[in-house]
Protein backbone atom coordinates (compact mmCIF):
# COMPACT_ATOMS: atom_id res chain seq x y z
CA UNK A 1 0.00 0.00 0.00
CA UNK A 2 2.55 2.53 -1.00
CA UNK A 3 0.19 5.35 -1.58
CA UNK A 4 1.58 8.80 -1.70
CA UNK A 5 0.47 11.27 0.92
CA UNK A 6 -1.32 13.28 -1.69
CA UNK A 7 -3.32 10.27 -2.78
CA UNK A 8 -4.17 9.41 0.79
CA UNK A 9 -5.33 12.92 1.49
CA UNK A 10 -7.34 13.18 -1.68
CA UNK A 11 -8.96 9.82 -1.06
CA UNK A 12 -10.08 10.73 2.45
CA UNK A 13 -11.30 14.07 1.31
CA UNK A 14 -13.32 12.51 -1.47
CA UNK A 15 -14.59 9.81 0.85
CA UNK A 16 -15.71 12.33 3.42
CA UNK A 17 -17.44 14.44 0.81
CA UNK A 18 -19.21 11.43 -0.65
CA UNK A 19 -20.34 10.30 2.77
CA UNK A 20 -21.48 13.80 3.61
CA UNK A 21 -23.44 14.09 0.39
CA UNK A 22 -25.17 10.82 1.03
CA UNK A 23 -25.97 11.47 4.67
CA UNK A 24 -26.97 15.08 4.21
CA UNK A 25 -29.30 14.06 1.43
CA UNK A 26 -30.90 11.26 3.41
CA UNK A 27 -31.25 12.93 6.80
CA UNK A 28 -30.42 16.58 6.38
CA UNK A 29 -27.36 18.54 7.42
CA UNK A 30 -28.39 19.27 10.99
CA UNK A 31 -29.61 15.76 11.63
CA UNK A 32 -26.27 14.23 10.74
CA UNK A 33 -23.38 14.21 13.19
CA UNK A 34 -19.80 14.71 12.20
CA UNK A 35 -19.12 11.31 13.71
CA UNK A 36 -21.68 9.73 11.42
CA UNK A 37 -20.08 11.27 8.35
CA UNK A 38 -16.60 10.28 9.41
CA UNK A 39 -17.65 6.74 10.20
CA UNK A 40 -19.43 6.35 6.88
CA UNK A 41 -16.18 7.31 5.21
CA UNK A 42 -14.14 4.96 7.43
CA UNK A 43 -12.40 7.88 8.99
CA UNK A 44 -12.67 9.81 12.24
CA UNK A 45 -13.69 13.30 13.12
CA UNK A 46 -10.01 14.10 13.48
CA UNK A 47 -9.55 13.70 9.75
CA UNK A 48 -12.75 15.57 9.06
CA UNK A 49 -11.67 18.58 11.07
CA UNK A 50 -8.17 18.48 9.66
CA UNK A 51 -9.69 18.74 6.19
CA UNK A 52 -12.62 21.06 6.60
CA UNK A 53 -12.16 22.87 9.88
CA UNK A 54 -15.79 22.70 10.86
CA UNK A 55 -19.02 21.02 10.00
CA UNK A 56 -20.08 24.06 8.05
CA UNK A 57 -16.76 23.97 6.23
CA UNK A 58 -17.62 20.48 5.13
CA UNK A 59 -20.89 21.77 3.76
CA UNK A 60 -19.17 24.61 1.91
CA UNK A 61 -16.69 22.21 0.37
CA UNK A 62 -19.52 19.92 -0.62
CA UNK A 63 -21.34 22.73 -2.39
CA UNK A 64 -18.16 23.75 -4.18
CA UNK A 65 -17.44 20.25 -5.35
CA UNK A 66 -21.04 19.69 -6.21
CA UNK A 67 -21.12 22.73 -8.41
CA UNK A 68 -18.13 21.67 -10.44
CA UNK A 69 -18.93 17.99 -10.59
CA UNK A 70 -22.59 17.66 -11.48
CA UNK A 71 -22.94 20.79 -13.52
CA UNK A 72 -22.89 19.09 -16.86
CA UNK A 73 -23.88 15.65 -15.64
CA UNK A 74 -27.44 16.18 -16.75
CA UNK A 75 -26.62 17.36 -20.22
CA UNK A 76 -23.80 14.87 -20.61
CA UNK A 77 -26.10 11.97 -19.89
CA UNK A 78 -28.20 12.79 -22.91
CA UNK A 79 -27.75 10.13 -25.60
CA UNK A 80 -27.64 11.93 -28.92
CA UNK A 81 -29.18 15.21 -29.95
CA UNK A 82 -31.35 13.68 -32.62
CA UNK A 83 -34.67 13.20 -30.97
CA UNK A 84 -35.87 16.03 -28.76
CA UNK A 85 -38.37 13.86 -26.93
CA UNK A 86 -35.60 11.41 -26.22
CA UNK A 87 -33.47 14.14 -24.77
CA UNK A 88 -36.28 15.34 -22.54
CA UNK A 89 -37.04 11.83 -21.41
CA UNK A 90 -33.40 11.26 -20.53
CA UNK A 91 -33.22 14.48 -18.56
CA UNK A 92 -36.38 13.56 -16.71
CA UNK A 93 -35.08 10.12 -15.90
CA UNK A 94 -31.89 11.66 -14.71
CA UNK A 95 -33.65 14.01 -12.37
CA UNK A 96 -36.16 11.70 -10.79
CA UNK A 97 -34.00 8.61 -10.74
CA UNK A 98 -30.79 8.46 -8.84
CA UNK A 99 -28.77 8.79 -12.02
CA UNK A 100 -25.32 7.66 -10.97
CA UNK A 101 -25.36 5.48 -7.90
CA UNK A 102 -28.61 3.59 -7.63
CA UNK A 103 -30.58 4.69 -4.61
CA UNK A 104 -28.61 7.89 -4.32
CA UNK A 105 -31.08 10.56 -3.41
CA UNK A 106 -30.07 13.12 -5.95
CA UNK A 107 -33.13 15.30 -5.71
CA UNK A 108 -32.99 15.25 -1.93
CA UNK A 109 -29.46 16.59 -1.91
CA UNK A 110 -30.41 19.14 -4.51
CA UNK A 111 -33.18 20.48 -2.35
CA UNK A 112 -31.22 20.22 0.87
CA UNK A 113 -28.54 22.36 -0.67
CA UNK A 114 -31.10 24.70 -2.16
CA UNK A 115 -32.49 25.35 1.29
CA UNK A 116 -29.06 26.08 2.69
CA UNK A 117 -28.45 28.31 -0.29
CA UNK A 118 -31.62 30.22 0.40
CA UNK A 119 -30.52 30.72 4.00
CA UNK A 120 -26.84 31.41 3.47
CA UNK A 121 -25.53 33.97 1.03
CA UNK A 122 -22.28 32.21 0.33
CA UNK A 123 -23.95 28.93 -0.50
CA UNK A 124 -26.66 30.76 -2.37
CA UNK A 125 -24.16 32.38 -4.69
CA UNK A 126 -22.43 29.09 -5.36
CA UNK A 127 -25.69 27.43 -6.23
CA UNK A 128 -26.81 30.31 -8.37
CA UNK A 129 -23.64 29.90 -10.42
CA UNK A 130 -24.26 26.21 -10.66
CA UNK A 131 -27.80 26.68 -11.91
CA UNK A 132 -26.61 29.28 -14.37
CA UNK A 133 -24.06 26.81 -15.64
CA UNK A 134 -26.64 24.09 -16.08
CA UNK A 135 -28.90 26.48 -17.93
CA UNK A 136 -25.99 27.46 -20.13
CA UNK A 137 -25.29 23.88 -21.08
CA UNK A 138 -28.95 23.34 -21.71
CA UNK A 139 -29.14 26.42 -23.88
CA UNK A 140 -26.13 25.27 -25.90
CA UNK A 141 -27.77 21.90 -26.37
CA UNK A 142 -30.94 23.53 -27.59
CA UNK A 143 -29.22 25.78 -30.10
CA UNK A 144 -27.20 22.83 -31.38
CA UNK A 145 -30.36 20.82 -31.74
CA UNK A 146 -32.17 23.63 -33.52
CA UNK A 147 -29.24 24.13 -35.85
CA UNK A 148 -29.00 20.42 -36.63
CA UNK A 149 -32.70 20.31 -37.41
CA UNK A 150 -32.87 23.59 -39.25
CA UNK A 151 -35.53 24.87 -36.94
CA UNK A 152 -35.90 28.20 -35.26
CA UNK A 153 -36.33 28.31 -31.53
CA UNK A 154 -39.46 30.05 -30.29
CA UNK A 155 -37.47 32.22 -27.93
CA UNK A 156 -33.86 32.93 -27.05
CA UNK A 157 -32.11 29.73 -26.04
CA UNK A 158 -31.32 30.88 -22.49
CA UNK A 159 -34.96 31.57 -21.84
CA UNK A 160 -35.94 28.20 -23.19
CA UNK A 161 -33.36 26.57 -20.97
CA UNK A 162 -34.82 28.31 -17.95
CA UNK A 163 -38.26 27.16 -19.02
CA UNK A 164 -37.22 23.55 -19.36
CA UNK A 165 -35.31 23.50 -16.11
CA UNK A 166 -38.16 25.14 -14.25
CA UNK A 167 -40.65 22.63 -15.44
CA UNK A 168 -38.43 19.63 -14.81
CA UNK A 169 -37.62 20.74 -11.27
CA UNK A 170 -41.19 21.46 -10.32
CA UNK A 171 -42.43 18.25 -11.85
CA UNK A 172 -39.76 16.30 -10.00
CA UNK A 173 -40.88 17.80 -6.71
CA UNK A 174 -44.42 16.66 -7.24
CA UNK A 175 -43.35 13.31 -8.62
CA UNK A 176 -41.35 12.57 -5.50
CA UNK A 177 -44.31 13.01 -3.22
CA UNK A 178 -46.76 11.26 -5.51
CA UNK A 179 -45.33 9.42 -8.46
CA UNK A 180 -48.75 9.01 -10.03
CA UNK A 181 -49.34 12.73 -10.16
CA UNK A 182 -46.85 13.29 -12.96
CA UNK A 183 -46.22 10.88 -15.81
CA UNK A 184 -43.20 10.87 -18.04
CA UNK A 185 -45.41 11.42 -21.05
CA UNK A 186 -46.90 14.54 -19.59
CA UNK A 187 -43.47 15.88 -18.80
CA UNK A 188 -42.26 15.27 -22.32
CA UNK A 189 -45.32 16.90 -23.84
CA UNK A 190 -45.03 19.94 -21.66
CA UNK A 191 -41.33 20.53 -22.16
CA UNK A 192 -41.74 19.94 -25.86
CA UNK A 193 -44.44 22.56 -25.88
CA UNK A 194 -42.26 25.00 -24.01
CA UNK A 195 -39.36 24.67 -26.36
CA UNK A 196 -40.58 24.08 -29.87
CA UNK A 197 -42.59 26.07 -32.34
CA UNK A 198 -46.30 25.35 -31.98
CA UNK A 199 -47.15 22.83 -34.67
CA UNK A 200 -50.64 24.09 -35.28
CA UNK A 201 -51.64 27.37 -36.84
CA UNK A 202 -54.00 29.91 -35.25
Residues that bind DNA (CB under 7 A): 1-6, 8-9, 11-13, 30, 32-35, 38, 42-47, 49-51, 53-56
Q: Which residues are CB-neighbours of 118 under 8 A, at least 6 positions away? A: 124
CB-nearer residue toward a second copy: 61 or 194? 194
User: Closest approach of Cβ 112 to DNA, in Å?
Assistant: 15
User: Closest approach of Cβ 113 to DNA, in Å?
Assistant: 17
CB-nearer residue toward a second copy: 82 or 156? 156
CB-nearer residue toward DNA: 30 or 119? 30
Three-state secondary structure string covering the chain: CCCCHHHHHHHHHHHHHHHHHHHHHHHCHHHCCHHHHHHHCCCCHHHHHHHHCCHHHHHHHHHHHHHHHHCCHHHHCCCCCCCHHHHHHHHHHHHHCCCCCCCCCHHHHHHHHHHHHHHCHHHHHHHHHHHHHHHHHHHHHHHHHHHHCCCCCCCCHHHHHHHHHHHHHHHHHHHHHCHHHCCHHHHHHHHHHHHCCCCCCC
Residue 141 site contact among DNA, a second copy, none (CB < 5 to 8 Å, cut-off depends on kind): none
Residue 67 site contact among DNA, a second copy, none (CB < 5 to 8 Å, cut-off depends on kind): none
CB-nearer residue toward DNA: 35 or 68? 35
Catalog residues that contact a second copy under the rule CB under 8 A. Answer: 26-31, 105, 107-108, 111-112, 114-115, 117-119, 124, 127-128, 131-132, 135, 155, 159, 162-163, 165-171, 173-174, 176-178, 181-182, 186, 189-190, 193-194, 197-202
173 alpha carbon, distance to own chain's centre: 13
CB-nearer residue toward DNA: 1 or 180? 1
Residue 45 site contact among a second copy, DNA, none (CB < 5 to 8 Å, cut-off depends on kind): DNA
Amino acid sequence: MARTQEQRKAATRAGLLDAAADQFARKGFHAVSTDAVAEAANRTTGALYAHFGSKEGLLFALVDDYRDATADAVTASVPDPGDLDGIIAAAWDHIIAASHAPGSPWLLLEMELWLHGARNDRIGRQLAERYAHVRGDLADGLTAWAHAHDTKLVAPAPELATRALSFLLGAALQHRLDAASVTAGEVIDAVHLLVTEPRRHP
